[in-house]
Chains A and B, each alone.
Chain A
């Protein structure tokens, strides 16, 4: 098979539609008789709910229903389902559709108003009378872990819901015999994914058909369908969940069930009219899951050459008020930490802690940025203290190309061992150094200093888990029209699946890529799968698409062989037609073969397996595949204002075979932008009462096109041996090392002052404080 599209910079099939405003997002769904919901949310971080009076709201203009918890069916008054249990997660507390006797974070839903318009629903929500008895909130992560802290869930007697340890080798021994041990505390604060499209749900109940249709801006339409069927007492076939165009997911939209995902379908079924709820930006800030808050105390033990003997981290993970998604994030953080380095002895231990803040679940990176920040900062520390070049320290510890598969000795988020499948870490580092001009850096740095400018270079390495199981599926169909359809189980939130999957199919069936119509995220089109998360869609669904397309190709040849009275070996598929080799004129188009494969009379031969040119296939990887990369940058610090400016940014990335470099570049650009946000702009600020002070984009600062630099990208391709296409995930690569990188570059720029960055995100104010504090220290080191 000559590859035509795989690996090419094919322009995205979906862009003309999306860029001309012809996409269909949840808010574009408008149904006759549709009602609109508004959620009344708790203004308190921690309070007892004494009374709720909805009488005024119920009689307000245009109001059709007002729901409080006791208006819901008994079982929906209980905590919502637990996802992803873990033996270390002792207190798996999950959220409610509507708050019980107590509210536990600002934004927790208390009542749901349904009215003829969103305006009227919001007017009525103001009329619901709620009496709260405020309780002391616990906001600070360190404080929440203390024994005498106020309790988010009283019955636990503590706020610590999980305590988990993993060990490799013998860390005590390694630290005891090490020439040097360095210990440091690292703090990472909260952020939010801020997708361009907030969440949204429309539900329609057709009583005669007993059919529920739900449009949901989710990353997990199939699990939502399965769960809704169970919770609402419907057969799975009686529920169709469609994730139409979704304006960014980034992780939080994999979470389920958000309260509204229960409330909207329930109301639609009860009222017999379609109901829409669209999350507005202010709600999104408190009601969509957040991430990133962790505090690590970590240590590294090295010999006198800077070779790693052992690493230790002990950290706190803030889970917010509930922990529906389990302890995925801290597990990913602790298993990502070792990175590309050989660490013979490793101890990671964390406590997951409840606080009176919005729930935490994975957000692009999902712990990977934390692991990388800790490890890369420790490596920089070793380099500095031992006066070894920072890239040389890294090189001495890198896993070598001949050492794959490399077993790290840890258990990953998918409960499979962390085994790096392939890669060339020294080559990745070398390429990044070359692109950033590391050779010339000492002179360039000195020249900047002579000009009075504080310019620093950073270089940060990472390895990330991606493409985990359990499985995904796809169905490829050639219709009698000759058009090719591919339906997959994963949903799409902007990753370009309409193109990358189409490329895979187009290559197998030798048709133009524009002629392959990809359907994603509709349980009515494909009903088995888990969702788009953990950089897995291209790996898991992509390979399922590949297998299904190859099966259709074989079937095509088989049917054509019968019809053309030739042997399969003598047939050739080209430009969407089957030829008999050496017999010009004996040919059939895909359309003709599709018709022949589905006869009206007669029979179909046993070897055809099933009628039509269609095949469904599943791909279940044995475990995750591990891409790697190196980011490098040069940045300038204004030491009088604490402002930074990035002068050059380089990403070298190896995600195995690349399906579409254009799409990959886009993924990396977006990731770097989010990473820069997390390093210097974006921070969710909670006050001591648990009020979120950053509830608009005026206060929560996403980097804009003005702040994000040009990004130069270099690709390496070390195929994964774990899947037929040889691909690895690429969705999170852009974001992962950015905080570590910026920290190192700032340290480098401000070397004279002995500045050492150990927290993220920074701000001009905070950076200036750090600079001023360092300048006051007598005679900074080196």
Chain B
């Protein structure tokens, strides 16, 4: 488990990083927290010629307030998790981060790395998709901003071009919404078999808007529009929730792996949808009460 030979560069500035990416293109590979990349290198499943280490780019380590909270790509997951701003404005992200590996992993792993890696079982891409957040990409010619749906293409594949760097993640503040993140993982800290991010805009005893985004059931974070529609505008009674659950299970087409069959994932996605909606609604109601 030693990586194949590679060259190593550690740019000191964003401009240098972008220039290096431009020079090495397909041959280059960005190293952020290394929590996904280094195992791939060691198993020789990834064999880049050049590693471009971003760990000296302090300017990409920030969390800024606003209607969209903006998080620099090199912000450590643990830093975001413990940030009072994230906890207050981005409760769904704060909740989801606790499911990402273990504190040791989150101490190294970055927000940008997780999004760029685009593992469909990962929590952060689902959070980004659920909240309809955006990513900012930069190359030598400038920057562009993409929504989650345009960014995640399929398994471990994004709209990032070989010369592009993910520099920022933008997540709409959602402290006015009821949210919940739930997952079933074989062990605490594992990538989940299935996970769900539930977002509910609760008003007057019903949901004005509902979003249900799942991990582990497709190549990208998956939303089930039909289930969202079924939960919208109605009081979320047991019967309605059971119906939502059924629609979710029926609407997904996951793949099997050694840990869980497609059937299992479909079933559990339905179960989690129901449970997450209950939690999200309870939280929304509590918020409503507290602000009254």
Interface residues of A (CB under 8 A from B): 118-119, 122-123, 280-282, 640-643, 681, 685, 693-694, 696, 698-699, 701, 703-704, 706-707, 763-765, 768-769
- Interface pair B1/A765, CB less than 8 Å apart: no
- Closest chain-B Cβ to A340's Cβ sits at a distance in Å of 33
* A contact residues around B271 at 8 Å (CB): 640-641
Name B's interface SS. Answer: loop
Q: How far is the CA of A675 from the CA of B260 in the complex (A)?
A: 22
* A contact residues around B258 at 8 Å (CB): 685, 693-694, 699
Interface residues of B (CB under 8 A from A): 1-5, 39, 43, 184, 186-191, 193, 258-261, 264, 267-268, 271
* A contact residues around B191 at 8 Å (CB): 698
Please provide the 4 A-B residue pairs with the shortest distance between their CB atoms, ordered closest to farther.
A706-B188, A280-B1, A765-B264, A640-B271
Q: How far is the CA of A763 from the CA of B256 in the complex (A)?
A: 14
Known interface pairs A123-B5, A280-B1; A641-B268 also in contact (CB < 8 Å): yes
Query: What number of residue pairs across chains A and B have CB atoms under 8 A from each other?
Result: 59
* B contact residues around A118 at 8 Å (CB): 2
- Interface pair A681/B187, CB less than 8 Å apart: yes
15 contacts between A and B (CB under 8 A): A123-B5, A280-B1, A640-B271, A641-B184, A642-B264, A681-B186, A681-B187, A696-B39, A699-B259, A701-B190, A706-B189, A707-B187, A764-B186, A765-B264, A768-B264
* B contact residues around A123 at 8 Å (CB): 4-5
Q: How far is the CA of A282 from the CA of B271 in the complex (A)?
A: 36
- Closest chain-A Cβ to B235's Cβ sits at a distance in Å of 22
Known interface pairs A119-B2, A122-B2, A640-B271; A701-B264 also in contact (CB < 8 Å): no
- Interface pair A704/B189, CB less than 8 Å apart: yes
- Interface pair A282/B43, CB less than 8 Å apart: yes
Besides the known contacts A282-B1, A704-B187, 11 further A-B residue pairs in the complex with CB atoms under 8 A apart: A119-B2, A119-B3, A641-B268, A641-B271, A694-B258, A698-B190, A698-B191, A699-B258, A701-B187, A763-B186, A765-B260
- Interface pair A763/B259, CB less than 8 Å apart: yes
* B contact residues around A765 at 8 Å (CB): 193, 259-261, 264
- Closest chain-A Cβ to B215's Cβ sits at a distance in Å of 15
- Closest chain-A Cβ to B8's Cβ sits at a distance in Å of 14
Name A's interface SS. Answer: loop
Known interface pairs A123-B5, A280-B1, A764-B193; A703-B184 also in contact (CB < 8 Å): no
* A contact residues around B4 at 8 Å (CB): 123
Output the residue of A122, A281, A763, A765 with the most chain B CB within 10 A.
A765
Q: How far is the CA of A465 from the CA of B41 in the complex (A)?
A: 46
- Interface pair B267/A768, CB less than 8 Å apart: yes
Q: How far is the CA of A522 from the CA of B188 in the complex (A)?
A: 40
* B contact residues around A764 at 8 Å (CB): 184, 186, 193, 260, 264
Q: How far is the CA of A703 from the CA of B188 in the complex (A)?
A: 9
- Interface pair A704/B188, CB less than 8 Å apart: yes
Q: How far is the CA of A181 from the CA of B233 in the complex (A)?
A: 60
Q: How far is the CA of A698 from the CA of B43 in the complex (A)?
A: 13
Q: How far is the CA of A765 from the CA of B271 in the complex (A)?
A: 14
Smallest Cβ-Cβ distance to B43: which chain A residue: A282
Smallest Cβ-Cβ distance to B245: which chain A residue: A640
- Interface pair A281/B1, CB less than 8 Å apart: yes
* B contact residues around A701 at 8 Å (CB): 186-187, 190
- Interface pair B187/A643, CB less than 8 Å apart: no
Q: How far is the CA of A38 from the CA of B267 in the complex (A)?
A: 45
* B contact residues around A642 at 8 Å (CB): 264
* A contact residues around B187 at 8 Å (CB): 681, 701, 703-704, 706-707
Smallest Cβ-Cβ distance to B267: which chain A residue: A768
Q: How far is the CA of A699 from the CA of B43 in the complex (A)?
A: 14
Known interface pairs A122-B2, A280-B1; A707-B188 also in contact (CB < 8 Å): yes
- Closest chain-A Cβ to B146's Cβ sits at a distance in Å of 29
* B contact residues around A706 at 8 Å (CB): 187-189
* A contact residues around B267 at 8 Å (CB): 640, 768
Smallest Cβ-Cβ distance to B194: which chain A residue: A641
* A contact residues around B39 at 8 Å (CB): 696
Q: How far is the CA of A643 from the CA of B193 in the complex (A)?
A: 12
Q: How far is the CA of A707 from the CA of B188 in the complex (A)?
A: 7
- Closest chain-B Cβ to A762's Cβ sits at a distance in Å of 11
Q: How far is the CA of A281 from the CA of B193 in the complex (A)?
A: 24
- Closest chain-B Cβ to A120's Cβ sits at a distance in Å of 9
Q: How far is the CA of A693 from the CA of B259 in the complex (A)?
A: 11
- Closest chain-B Cβ to A417's Cβ sits at a distance in Å of 43
* A contact residues around B184 at 8 Å (CB): 641, 643, 764
* B contact residues around A699 at 8 Å (CB): 258-259
Q: How far is the CA of A765 from the CA of B263 in the complex (A)?
A: 9
Q: How far is the CA of A681 from the CA of B39 in the complex (A)?
A: 22
* A contact residues around B259 at 8 Å (CB): 699, 763, 765
Q: How far is the CA of A763 from the CA of B193 in the complex (A)?
A: 12
* B contact residues around A119 at 8 Å (CB): 2-3, 5
Q: How far is the CA of A768 from the CA of B193 in the complex (A)?
A: 14
Q: How far is the CA of A123 from the CA of B47 in the complex (A)?
A: 12
Smallest Cβ-Cβ distance to B265: which chain A residue: A765
* B contact residues around A703 at 8 Å (CB): 187
* B contact residues around A694 at 8 Å (CB): 258
Output the residue of B1, B2, B188 with the most chain A CB within 10 A.
B2
Q: How far is the CA of A640 from the CA of B267 in the complex (A)?
A: 8
Q: How far is the CA of A641 from the CA of B184 in the complex (A)?
A: 8
* A contact residues around B193 at 8 Å (CB): 764-765
Q: How far is the CA of A742 from the CA of B186 in the complex (A)?
A: 17
Output the residue of B187, B188, B261 with the most chain A CB within 10 A.
B187
Q: How far is the CA of A270 from the CA of B163 in the complex (A)?
A: 50
* A contact residues around B1 at 8 Å (CB): 280-282
* A contact residues around B2 at 8 Å (CB): 118-119, 122
Output the residue of A641, A643, A699, A704 with the most chain B CB within 10 A.
A641
Smallest Cβ-Cβ distance to B270: which chain A residue: A640
Output the residue of B186, B188, B190, B267 with the most chain A CB within 10 A.
B186
Smallest Cβ-Cβ distance to B191: which chain A residue: A698
* A contact residues around B264 at 8 Å (CB): 642, 764-765, 768-769
Smallest Cβ-Cβ distance to B272: which chain A residue: A641
Q: How far is the CA of A703 from the CA of B190 in the complex (A)?
A: 11
Q: How far is the CA of A474 from the CA of B57 in the complex (A)?
A: 60
Output the residue of B43, B188, B190, B258 with the most chain A CB within 10 A.
B258
- Closest chain-A Cβ to B67's Cβ sits at a distance in Å of 37
Smallest Cβ-Cβ distance to A118: which chain B residue: B2
Q: How far is the CA of A641 from the CA of B275 in the complex (A)?
A: 12
* B contact residues around A704 at 8 Å (CB): 187-189
Smallest Cβ-Cβ distance to A280: which chain B residue: B1
- Closest chain-A Cβ to B176's Cβ sits at a distance in Å of 31
Q: How far is the CA of A643 from the CA of B272 in the complex (A)?
A: 13
- Closest chain-B Cβ to A62's Cβ sits at a distance in Å of 11
Q: How far is the CA of A696 from the CA of B189 in the complex (A)?
A: 15
- Closest chain-B Cβ to A28's Cβ sits at a distance in Å of 19
* A contact residues around B260 at 8 Å (CB): 763-765
Smallest Cβ-Cβ distance to B256: which chain A residue: A765
Q: How far is the CA of A54 from the CA of B227 in the complex (A)?
A: 60
* A contact residues around B190 at 8 Å (CB): 698, 701
* A contact residues around B5 at 8 Å (CB): 119, 123
Smallest Cβ-Cβ distance to A694: which chain B residue: B258
Q: How far is the CA of A123 from the CA of B5 in the complex (A)?
A: 8
Q: How far is the CA of A764 from the CA of B193 in the complex (A)?
A: 10
Q: How far is the CA of A696 from the CA of B39 in the complex (A)?
A: 10
Q: How far is the CA of A685 from the CA of B186 in the complex (A)?
A: 15
* B contact residues around A769 at 8 Å (CB): 264
Q: How far is the CA of A704 from the CA of B191 in the complex (A)?
A: 14
* A contact residues around B188 at 8 Å (CB): 704, 706-707
Q: How far is the CA of A195 from the CA of B240 in the complex (A)?
A: 50
